[in-house]
Amino acid sequence: MMINMTAKFYSGNAGPLFQLKRSPENICAYIIYVTPLFEQANQTRHMQTRLALNAYQLGVESLIYDHYGCGDSGGELSQASLSLWQQDLIAQINAIKAKMAQDVPFNANPSSKPKPIYLSCLLSSALVLNSDIIALIDGLLLAQPEFNGKRFVQQFKRLALASNLTKTNNIEQNSTEIEIAGYVMQPSLLDELSQQTLTQYESIDKHCHWLEWSDSDQLPMARAKQQQLFSTKSSDSSLTVSAINDVKFWQSTELTLSEKMLSFEEQTLRNLLKEAGSTEQGGSC
Amino acid sequence: MNLSQISQQLITLLSGIIPSYEKSFWHEQTELFGAIAEFDSMVIVTLIGEIEEQFDVVLDDDDISAENFESVASLSQLIYDNIDG
């Protein structure tokens, strides 16, 4: 099957953002795959691509992009900040909304409704979220999300220690920049990230689907705590939690796919579309 | 949890992270750091994260040493000491 895919540079707040857009002919909904941070971007891109292809088959237009200063986007990581990444994400969501309004002016056809916009957040990409972003979307697909910024930054800094086991000082830092495992950034970026926590959210009243990897009935305590805190922020009916026992593809030293994740996300999207469609005339897009 | 149980759980983690070896490759005396090509800094940090989650322990940054990551046995001992501690 031919895929209608475009690669382009979107004009972000500080510079061009590399985007891969897959647009089916009849668009039922939109989904943005927020890219995880640093090395996790490389460890997850193949799965995001597969997820986007599945979404395409369901009539969901997808967007995969690189944060400013990362991947093929413009700028240097040392010029990036978390607030910039958040503003860039907001701008891209708003661009979809603007395009929708342009394609089908809602006031011209009262029966037409805006198509839902979903975000898919895997691992550390959840750290990019904030209340303003969530307010703009219709649903959130979380996969092993990391909301604990402090823990994420600690793990990232450990990368420097691990990469140089025999030396004592292995985080290169000058007065303005810090280098960890080849990533050069402002220390303020790590400060921003480490301050990210679920406590920043007053409430999360959007459809949320949380997928967790687990090989037993009981989640590890750290994961269970995050999930528990998230559930206190969500209204009773808006959070669905699921677990799969499958390969943690992002950890593997070999390129690995999680078939169970692909199936789960596909089914979740189907359900979301059905739910959104049921309120529309004819129940289809 | 005794040392043997820790080793078995650790081997499960290792074989998931480094899937390119046969099951029989992994045992208590399997050497890790410096012996397995794939056992790089990313694997070490991934492993630390998994150990902390699965065993509900907090490892100190000082624990990231060649000695502790030398083998399944030495790493199991580190986990055991932290659970005990």
Other Cβ atoms less than 10 A from the Cβ of A11: the count is 12
Residue A35 belongs to a domain: yes
User: Confidence class of residue A170 from pLDDT cuts 50, 70 and 90?
Assistant: low
**What is residue A282's predicted lDDT score, i.e. its pLDDT?**
43
Residues A191 and A251 in one domain: no
Query: Is there a single domain that holds both residue A266 and residue A180?
Result: no
- CA dist A97 and A138 (Å) reads 12
Residue A200 lies in a domain: no
Q: Which of A253, A256, A257, A258 is the best mutation test for B, with the most CBs of B within 10 A?
A: A253
Asked if residue A117 belongs to a domain, the reply is: yes
Q: Do B43 and A253 touch (CB under 8 A)?
A: yes
Please work out, in degrees rounded to the nearest 5, the angle formed at the alpha carbon of residue A52 by the alpha carbons of A47 and A56: 150
Same-domain status, A142 and A156: no
- In whole angstroms, give the CA distance from residue A201 to residue A166: 41
Q: A182: pLDDT confidence band, cut at 50, 70 and 90? A: confident
Q: Which of A73, A225, A245 is nearest to B12 (CA)?
A: A245
Distance from CA of B67 to the nearest CA of A (A): 10
Q: Mean pLDDT of all residues in chain A?
A: 89
Q: Does A110 have pLDDT greater than 90?
A: no
Q: Does the beta-carbon distance from A163 to B41 stay under 8 Å?
A: yes
Instruction: Provide the domain limits for residue A221.
Output: 5-147+205-283
What residues in chain A have their Cβ under 8 A from chain B's Cβ atoms?
39, 155, 157-159, 161-166, 181, 215, 220-223, 247-248, 251-254, 256
Q: Identify whether residues A273 and A255 lie together within a single domain.
A: yes
Residues A167 and A89 in one domain: no
Question: Which residue of A lies nearest to B20 if distances are taken between CA atoms?
Answer: A254
Nearest CB to A159; choose among B17, B33, B45? B45
Residue at token pair 């061009």 = A16
Measure CA B16 to chain center: 12
Which residues sit opposite A173 in a β-bridge?
Answer: A178
Is the separation of the CB atoms in A238 and A208 below 8 Å? Answer: yes
Give phi and psi for A20, each to the nearest 5.
Answer: -115, 115
Q: Convert the pLDDT of each residue in B32-76 to its tens digit.
A: 998 998 898 899 999 999 999 889 899 999 999 999 999 999 999
Task: Give the A:B interface size as CB pairs under 8 Å.
Answer: 62
pLDDT of residue A279 exceeding 80, the answer is no
By C-alpha distance, the chain A residue nearest B62 is A161
More confident residue, A234 or A142: A142
Percent of all residues in chain A with a pLDDT value above 70, rounded to a whole number: 91
CB contact under 8 A, A158 and B61: yes
For testing contact with chain A, the best of B20, B40, B41 (most A CBs within 10 A)? B41
Mean pLDDT value across residues A97-112:
76
Nearest CB to B61: which of A161, A223, A253? Answer: A161
Give the closest-approach CA distance of B55 to chain A in angstroms.
Answer: 8
pLDDT at A106 (0 to 100)? 61
Structural domains in chain B, sorted by start: 3-84 (1.10.1200.10)
Give the model's pLDDT for residue A283. Answer: 46
Sign of CA dihedral A133, A98, A20, A68: negative
Judging contacts by C-beta atoms under 8 Å, the chain A residues touching residue B16 are: 247-248, 251-252
Give me the sheet containing A239-244, strands edge to edge: A5-11, A16-22, A60-65, A29-34, A117-122, A139-143, A207-213, A239-244
The verdict on residue A155 lying in a domain is yes
Establish if A72 belongs to a structural domain: yes
Task: State yes or no: ipTM above 0.90.
Answer: no
pLDDT-based confidence at residue A212 (cuts at 50, 70, 90): very high
A252: which chain B residues are within 8 Å (Cβ-Cβ)?
A: 16-19
Structure confidence at residue A226 as a pLDDT band (50, 70, 90): confident
- Quote the pLDDT of residue B50: 92
Q: Which of A195, A214, A229 is the last residue of a domain?
A: A195
Same domain, A191 and A221: no
Q: Cα–Cα distance between A61 and A66 in angstroms, integer? A: 17
- Position A215 scores a pLDDT of 80
Residue B50: closest C-alpha in chain A:
A220
Q: Judge contact between A61 and A270, C-beta under 8 A.
A: no
Q: Is A71 exposed, middle or buried (0-12, 13-18, 19+ CB in 10 A)?
A: middle
Across the interface, of B17, B44, B53, the residue whose CB is closest to A252 is B17
Contact A188, A147 (CB under 8 A): no
| CB contact set of A171 (below 8 Å; sequence gap of 6+) | A157, A160, A161, A178, A179, A180
The answer on A178 and A276 residing in a single domain is: no
Residues A233, A118 share a domain: yes
Determine the Cα–Cα distance for residues A283 and A28; give it in Å rounded to an integer.
Answer: 11
Question: Which chain A residues have a beta carbon less than 8 Å from that of B49?
Answer: 155
Query: Is the confidence at residue A280, as pLDDT, over 50?
Result: no
Domain check: are A156 and A49 in the same one? no
CB atoms within 10 A of CB B66: 12
- Coil, strand or helix at A88: helix
Nearest to A69 by CA among A81, A58, A61: A81
Number of domains forming the structure of chain A = 2
Is it the case that residue A236 has pLDDT exceeding 70?
no
For Cα atoms A25, A117, A40, give the angle at the middle one, nearest 5 degrees. 100
Statement to judge: residues A118 and A158 lie in one domain: no
Residues A228 and A252 placed together within one structural domain of the fold: yes
Q: Which among A163, A195, A227 is the end of a domain? A: A195
Fill in the DSSP letter of residue A234: B
Give the model confidence (pLDDT) of A41-73 as tens digits: 999 999 999 999 999 999 999 999 999 999 999
In a domain, A99, yes or no: yes
Residue of B nearest to A181 (CA): B41
Pairing assessment for the beta strands A5-11 and A16-22 based on DSSP bridges:
antiparallel
Q: Would the CA dihedral through A155, A159, A162, A167 be positive or negative?
A: negative
pLDDT of residue A237: 63
- Please tell me the distance in Å from B71's CA to the nearest CA on chain A: 15
Please indicate, yes or no, if residue A278 is contained in any of the structural domains.
yes
Which chain B residue has its CA at the smallest distance from A224's CA? B53
For residue A241, the cross-strand partners are A210
> Are residues A22 and A88 located together in one domain of the fold?
yes
Identify the CATH number of the domain in which residue A43 sits.
Answer: 3.40.50.1820
Could you say which DSSP state residue A195 is in?
A: T
Q: Among residues of chain A, what percentage have pLDDT more than 90?
A: 68
Q: In this complex, do B20 and A254 lie within 8 Å of one another by their Cβ atoms?
A: yes
